[in-house]
């Protein structure tokens, strides 16, 4: 497995790479969820294609300097995961390699980003779109894999691909869960034992609520189950149109029940498709 730290090294590797090139963009701190994305990329690329994992903690998608500084960067362990899942190459640029100090062009998404996580994090998804577009262009990848846990991110990137006529295929991967249903996240490691034991209620709430037949019951039931915890604090709980991410009351179209829940300082997100309305 090769490692490229600069764009020049990456280009040299890619000039010699066999197609298709499948990218798995990450910010490192890889867990089993990321490992599954790499395995899916390997499957799609076949033995002849090239799987590239990017490990880059993208500074322009953080709205709090403390979060950026505290973000874990376990490079050696991350490289082991990439190797174990048969990635062909890893791109590990530093900030200076990715961004000119006087950079002045970014991607802006003006609609989907105004809902859910984006409502409280102005500029976050512009930072995500900008780095993802750069990674697509730098690698020339035919396809890229993204997890469905970050449903809004997936929707925003699909919108960018549509609106900018990008030729990269977006491959979604279902959320990987712990055995008790908690969605895998690098943040889970920061939960206290009490919070970790309580957090699977998020999944239970979404599953139970998604079985209800009307919007009011869906939101009420999910709110009651999560709100029944003395630890959990709901940041948002919304039923949204799966395409526009705007709040919806229309169960005749694909909808997503999505939430963000704080346990202390740790903010967990999860979502479920409310597909019961579709025969
Ligand atoms: O999901 C992430 O880890 C990041 O938002 C991404 C897509 C790698 C962009 O920095």
Q: Would residue 274 count as lying in a domain?
A: no
Residues 9 and 136 grouped into a single domain: yes
Q: Would residue 279 count as lying in a domain?
A: no
In this structure, which long-range contacts are made by residues 250-254, counting pairs with CB atoms below 8 Å and at least 24 apart in sequence? 251/214, 251/215, 251/276, 251/277, 252/277, 253/277, 254/278
Residues 101 and 41 grouped into a single domain: yes
The enclosing domain of 95 has a CATH number of 3.40.50.620
Residues 225 and 95 grouped into a single domain: no
- Say what the pLDDT of residue 128 is: 98
58 Cβ inside 6 Å of ligand 1: yes
Of the three residues 173, 204, 238, the one that is the final residue of a domain is 173
Domain count, the chain: 2
Q: Would residue 273 count as lying in a domain?
A: no
- Say what the pLDDT of residue 277 is: 46
Q: Low-confidence residues of the chain, pLDDT below 70?
A: 275-279
27 Cβ inside 6 Å of ligand 1: yes
pTM over 0.85: yes
Residues 106 and 221 grouped into a single domain: no
Which atom from ligand 1 is nearest to the alpha carbon of 128?
A: 9
Of the three residues 122, 146, 173, the one that is the final residue of a domain is 173
Strands (E), the chain: 2-4, 21-26, 50-55, 89-91, 143-147, 169-173, 232-241, 255-263, 266-274
Residues 243 and 216 grouped into a single domain: yes
Q: Would residue 257 count as lying in a domain?
A: yes
Residues 38 and 109 grouped into a single domain: yes
Q: Would residue 276 count as lying in a domain?
A: no
- Say what the pLDDT of residue 218 is: 97
Of the three residues 173, 203, 226, the one that is the final residue of a domain is 173
Measured in Å, residue 27 CA sits from the centre of ligand 1 at: 6
C-alpha span between 226 and 200 (Å, rounded)? 10
**Any idea which residue has 């498709």 for tokens?**
273
- Say what the pLDDT of residue 276 is: 57
Residues 62 and 8 grouped into a single domain: yes
Range of the domain at 127: 2-173
- Say what the pLDDT of residue 279 is: 47
Which atom from ligand 1 is nearest to the alpha carbon of 157?
A: 7
Catalytic residue among 34, 115, 124, 195: 34
26 Cβ inside 6 Å of ligand 1: yes
Residues 160 and 42 grouped into a single domain: yes
Residues 254 and 156 grouped into a single domain: no
The enclosing domain of 243 has a CATH number of 3.30.1300.10
Q: Whose CA is nearest to atom 6 of ligand 1?
A: 26
Residues 153 and 191 grouped into a single domain: no
Strand-by-strand arrangement of the 266-274 sheet: 232-241, 255-263, 266-274
| 34 noted as active-site residue | yes
Helix axes 124-139, 7-15, angle to 10 degrees: 40
Q: Would residue 181 count as lying in a domain?
A: no
Residues 20 and 110 grouped into a single domain: yes
């Amino acid at each position: 497995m090769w490692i490229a730290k600069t764009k020049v090294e990456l280009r040299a590797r890619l000039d010699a790479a066999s197609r298709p090139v499948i990218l798995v963009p990450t910010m490192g701190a890889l867990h089993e969820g990321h490992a599954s994305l790499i395995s899916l990329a390997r499957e799609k690329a076949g033995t002849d294609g090239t799987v590239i994992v990017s490990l880059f903690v993208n500074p322009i998608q953080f709205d709090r300097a403390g979060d950026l500084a505290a973000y874990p960067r376990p490079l050696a362990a991350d490289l082991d995961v990439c190797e174990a899942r048969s990635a062909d190459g890893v791109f590990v640029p530093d900030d200076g390699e990715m961004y000119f100090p006087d950079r002045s062009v970014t991607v802006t998404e003006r609609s989907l980003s105004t809902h859910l996580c984006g409502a409280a994090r102005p500029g976050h998804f512009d930072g995500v779109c900008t780095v993802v577009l750069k990674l697509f262009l730098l690698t020339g990848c035919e396809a890229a894999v993204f997890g469905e846990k970050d449903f809004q991110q997936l929707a925003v990137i699909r919108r960018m691909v549509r609106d900018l006529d990008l030729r990269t295929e977006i491959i979604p991967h279902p959320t990987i869960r712990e055995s008790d249903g908690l969605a895998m996240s690098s943040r889970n490691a920061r939960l206290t034992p009490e919070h970790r034991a309580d957090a699977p209620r998020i999944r239970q709430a979404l599953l139970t609520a998604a079985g209800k037949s009307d919007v009011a019951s869906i939101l009420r039931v999910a709110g009651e189950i999560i709100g029944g915890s003395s630890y959990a604090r709901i940041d948002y709980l919304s039923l949204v149109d799966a395409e526009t991410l705007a709040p919806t009351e229309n169960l005749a179209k694909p909808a997503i029940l999505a939430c963000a829940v704080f346990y202390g300082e740790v903010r967990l997100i999860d979502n479920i498709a409310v597909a019961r309305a579709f025969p």
